[in-house]
Amino acid sequence: MRFEHLLDRFDTDAEGNALHQFASDLFPICRSITGNGVRQTLKIIAKRIPLEIREVPTGTEVFDWTVPREWNCEAATLRGPDGEIVADFADHNLQLMSYSVPVHQKMSLDELKPHLHSLPDHPDWIPYRTSYYRDDWGFCLPHSVLESLPDGEYDVQIDSALQVGSLTYGECVLAGDTSREILISCHVCHPSMANDNLSGVAVTTRLAELMESVPRHYTYRFLFIPGTIGSITWLAQNEDCAKRIDHGLVVTCVGDDDHPTYKRSRQGTTMIDRAVEFVLSQRNLPFVMENFSPYGYDERQYCSPGFDLPVGLLTRSPWGRFPEYHSSADDLTFIKPFALADSLRLILDVFDILENDGSYVNLNPMCEPQLGKRGLYDMMGGKQNIKDLRMALLWVLNYSDGGHSLLEIAHRARLPFPAIRAACDKLVEAGLLKAQPPE
């Protein structure tokens, strides 16, 4: 199957439902930046795509950072004065602060309170808290529960382990005609949260699955890594590989029903920035383009000045700017099948540009060639817009002077890239156009 057929045959409903189902399958697992939850998640992903699971030992120096101890938790409960359960890790994994040290202790409510976290503005939600790099522990509760706690003796039982182990991440590389690469990166370090984490994991897994099924110009690298420490670790151990990345996207928060938001790479005008903006601008739907800022997800590391890679961030609701962010309300009802499918489609449309952009030369530049006698006015059947394709033939012929790429022509013509690409293919076939070899 050719890449173009992925677009022609794209079934939004089926893709959306399958993406939501996959997120649902992964939802109950307790992930963190290390530990068995990440391994379990990666094993499930590896059933769908050729995924290498890598283990980087605790204590490994990665630039200015060190791979931390591995964290796992068997059980954790907080019981009230009458022995009743106040918080239980088994009920909802957000109830335990991630990376909590082991604790087996009785204490008063006053001693306990500094270790309790809630969201007063959303009294029924459980917040998400972590303490990766400082030994601490805590329970996260609905504010309504916290407010109602009586004085008395509380029993804290946290059966966690912080041990020498490793940081686990997954890497799927699909070789293409060239060793130049497209990087897609998502984080797999959040426990039961859907938009921040699993939407990106589901869409990235499906992208890899689809791209594996077609011939590719580029080599594709899909990374499933713990946020921050994962990208730092990968970059520290793959400096040469990073030099081969021509285009990249960090993908997360792509399942809520808000419109897409794209944060440009640090360079700001790279091909990935222009391709995403073009695809979004063609849809006649709202979207937001933002300039790079050194805060957010792993684009912070890919775009650190020593690397300055052409990597942007694709989200729908942006990081930290939706109330459900980092809470139990970021659940499976918060992500929508149509939004997941729309995000997947958007990235495939971007891949179409990255795979097929190029500059061509018109071999018949003295006035317009006669298209009718070459059958070029009749060939446009099928689903695509015939008017677009006819216009695309004229635009491609006129601007194929070696100096304008197909994306630039599409931009100028305000035509969808697939129409420009299809016109180009037909003109090459008819002997009216040839590829301009890259300089």
Contact residues: Zn ion, CB under 5 A: 196
Q: What letter does residue 194 receive in the DSSP assignment? A: I
Contact 411, 278 (CB under 8 A): yes
C-alpha–C-alpha distance, residues 229 and 298, integer Å? 9
CB of 128 to Zn ion, least distance (A): 7
Instruction: Specify the residue, 199 or 400, whose C-beta has the smaller distance to Zn ion.
Output: 199
Amino acid at 366: M
In the complex, minimum distance from the CB of residue 63 to Zn ion, in angstroms, rounded to a whole number = 22
Q: Residue 243 — φ and ψ, nearest 5°?
A: -70, -15
- State the Cα–Cα distance between residues 425 and 34, nearest whole angstrom: 48
Q: Closer to Zn ion at the Cβ: 260 or 296?
A: 296
Least separation in angstroms between CB 196 and Zn ion: 4
Report in angstroms how near the CB of residue 343 gets to Zn ion at its nearest: 17
Instruction: Please answer whether residues 175 and 153 qualify as being in contact, where contact means their C-beta atoms are separated by less than 8 angstroms.
Output: no
- Minimum separation from the CB atom of position 203 to Zn ion (A): 16
| Closest CB to Zn ion: residue number | 196
Least distance (Å) between residue 330 CB and Zn ion: 9
Output 196 or 357, the one with its CB closest to Zn ion: 196
Single out the residue of 97, 57, 52 nearest to residue 73, CA to CA: 97
- Residue 7: how many other CB atoms lie within 10 Å: 15
Tokens for 396?
A: 């491609």
- Residue number, 322 or 417, with CB nearest to Zn ion: 322
- Cα separation, 330 vs 6, in Å, equals 30
Q: 222 vs 325, which CB is nearer to Zn ion?
A: 325
Is the CB of residue 160 less than 8 Å from the CB of residue 75? no
Q: Taking the mean position of all CA atoms in its chain, how far away is CA 286?
A: 20
| CB burial readout 138-159, b (16+ within 10 A) else e | bbbbbbebbeebeeeebbbebe
Q: Which is nearer to Zn ion, 70 or 196 (CB)?
A: 196
Burial class (CB within 10 angstroms; exposed 0-12, middle 13-18, buried 19+) of 5:
exposed
What distances in angstroms separate CA 276 from CA 33, 312, 407, one per listed residue? 29, 9, 11
The C-alpha atoms of residue 309 and residue 75 are separated, in whole angstroms, by 41
**How many angstroms separate the most distant Cα atoms in the chain?**
92
Q: 423 in helix, strand or coil?
A: helix
Q: What H or E segment, with its residue span, contains residue 137?
A: none
Q: Which is nearer to Zn ion, 196 or 273 (CB)?
A: 196
d(CA 253, CA 261): 10
Q: Name which of 196 and 349 has its Cβ closer to Zn ion.
A: 196
| Smallest separation (angstroms) from Zn ion to the CB of 428 | 46
Between 194 and 389, whose beta carbon lies closer to Zn ion?
A: 194
